[in-house]
Structure 1
Amino acid sequence: MDGALHRRIAADLTRRIQQREWLPGDQIPSRAALAAEYDVHEQTIRLAVTLLRKRGLLEGEQRSRLFVAHPPAMRALINPDADWPHPSETTDTAPRRATVELAARLDVPVGTRLQHETVECLDPGGRSAMLVSSWWRGRRQPHDSFVVEVGAIELHERQAHALGLTVDTLAYRLVRTRLDTAGRAVETADLVLPMDRWVLRF
């Protein structure tokens, strides 16, 4: 089976939900009906709806009826340096070479080998609420303070999939740089927050 097929079906079901073919609280067609509509095996539909349940677009148990989820509650971000109080999943720890931007943020030469971590922060219901990608040189160091720049980005494919949104959706991008007691950068991070789930208050 094409490993990307269920993702394409999930993307199409997401589009149909966003175009209000089904409203929050509506029951979607059965897995058998969707399999017939998309001309695929029912297991492919199971994978697609499992993905949408994880992203918070559908509600219901694995083997029962599924409904379009109501929009997630808005959260307020007050301290962008606070520990996340709910579960999280580390999705990427591959080292990176410093790009021009990262080199400037960490005051290191371009191409410097950096440690890297991307964490998916989940809300109490297990839905993805925020993505945090961090970079630092050598061993992680304690920090004394931090600075934050706030902007907006269009989500690329991997971010959009993780957050259950469509590609090019606008999201907040917070560039957080942690500083030591001398004011030197010891770590920098991008915090990506969906605009439909967050307000910023700091």
Structure 2
Amino acid sequence: MSGEAAFRRIADDIRRRIGAREWAPGQALPSRANMAREYHVHEQTVRLAYNELRRDGILDGEKGRHVTVAHPPAMRTLTDVDAEWPYATETTDTRPRRASDDLAERLGVAPSTMLQHATVECLEPGGRSAMLVLSWWRGRRRNHASYAAELGVARLGEEHAHALGLLVDAMAYRVVRTRLDVHGAPVETADLLLPMDRWTIRL
């Protein structure tokens, strides 16, 4: 069995054992050395399994130290799609890109117009990603007077699924938010991607 297959198998088994309440939320798991002996693998393989489970929000703890079973994520309710995120954020992509037909229609520009872009990861106090905000605008960012929002769902590709700690092709809420100036013209549009297991939407 390859190293990659082994660490994924171990990660899946640890998930099963946590689900069976072998370890409770907040309880430390055995050390990597002990787990390596139990699973008959190298410590590095256990480290990879722990890292994957940490990324997926199953485990908490710093690299190189004991890890604990994470408490279930808090459910949040989205009521104002234009509110500032109250915790830390991380901007992960600012590459300009050309407007697709959809973005061109949302912003009232010609297709292939060069747009400014930002992908912002909104983080929970514990550091786990709560949602992604992908924004596009033309020229300088301008103030807005109002906004319009539409709720739907989206199937996540590899990049966005990885950022949110979800499986590729998982479904997430997708809120399309378009900010408008005083005349009702669009100045910015955004996709808010929210994991369905962490959010309730009330617009």
Per-residue deviation at 1:46? 3.5
Q: Which runs of 5+ in 2 are unaligned?
A: none
Instruction: Report SS of the residue matched to 1:22.
Output: helix
**Which residue is 1:95 aligned to?**
96
Give the whole-Å Cα distance in 2 for the aligned partners of 1:40 and 1:104.
54
Which letter does structure 1 place at the counterpart of 2:83?
Answer: A
1:156 aligns with 2:157: yes
Change (3 A) 1:111 1:145: same
- Give the equivalent residue in structure 2 for 1:22: 18
Matched residue type, 1:157? E
Aligned positions of 1:170-189 closer than 5 A: 170-189=171-190
Report which stretch shifted further, 165-174 or 25-34.
Answer: 25-34
**Shift in Å, 1:153:** 1.1
SS at match of 1:148: strand
Q: Output one character per residue of 1:40-72: Cα deviation in whole Å (capped at 9) or x when no partner.
A: 662x65455345435422123433332332320
Who is 1:63 aligned against?
Answer: 64
SS in 1 for 2:50: helix
For the pair shown, which has the larger CA radius of gyration, 1 or 2? Answer: 2
Name the residue aligned to 1:201. Answer: 202
Instruction: Check conservation: 2:98, 2:115, Cα contact below 8 A.
Output: yes
CA shift digits 1:104-128 (9 cap, x unpaired): 1101111000000000000111110
CA distance in 2 between counterparts of 1:173 and 1:72 reads 19
Question: Compared with structure 1, are the counterparts of its residues 96 and 13 closer, same or farther at alpha carbon in structure 2 (3 Å cutoff)?
Answer: farther
2:113 aligned partner: 112
> Take 2:67 and 2:74, find their aligned partners in 1: how far apart are those partners?
20
TM-score under structure 2 length normalisation:
0.83
- Count of aligned residue pairs for this structure pair: 195
Q: Please, which moves more after superposition, 153-162 or 129-138?
A: 153-162
1:132 match:
133
Letter of the 2:183 counterpart? A
Please, what is the CA RMSD of the aligned residues?
Answer: 2.7
8 Å contact 2:97–2:114 — kept in the other structure?
yes
Q: CA deviation at 1:158?
A: 1.0
Q: Are 1:169 and 2:170 an aligned pair? A: yes
Q: CA deviation at 1:88?
A: 0.5
Q: Structure 1 stretch 111-120 or stretch 54-63: which is displaced more?
A: 54-63
Structure 1 residues 87, 47: CA separation in 2 closer, same or farther (over 3 Å shift)?
Answer: farther
> For the structure 1 residues 17 and 164, does the alpha-carbon distance in structure 2 shift closer, same or farther, using more than 3 Å as the test?
farther
Query: Residues 174 and 98 from structure 1, CA distance in 2 versus in 1: closer, same or farther, beyond 3 angstroms?
Result: same
Q: TM-score, normalised by structure 1?
A: 0.83
- The alignment-based identity, stated in percent, is 54
The change in CA–CA distance for 1:103 and 1:9 in structure 2 (over 3 A counts) is: farther
| Structure 1 residue 38, shift from structure 2 partner | 8.8
Conserved 8 A contact 1:105-1:177: yes
SS of 1:168's equivalent in the other structure is coil
Residues 10 and 46 of structure 2 are in contact (CA less than 8 Å); yes or no, is this contact kept in structure 1? no
Q: 2 CA distance for matches of 1:31 and 1:125?
A: 23
Structure-1 separation of matches of 2:11 and 2:79: 30
Q: Is the Cα contact below 8 Å between 1:22 and 1:28 reproduced in 2?
A: no
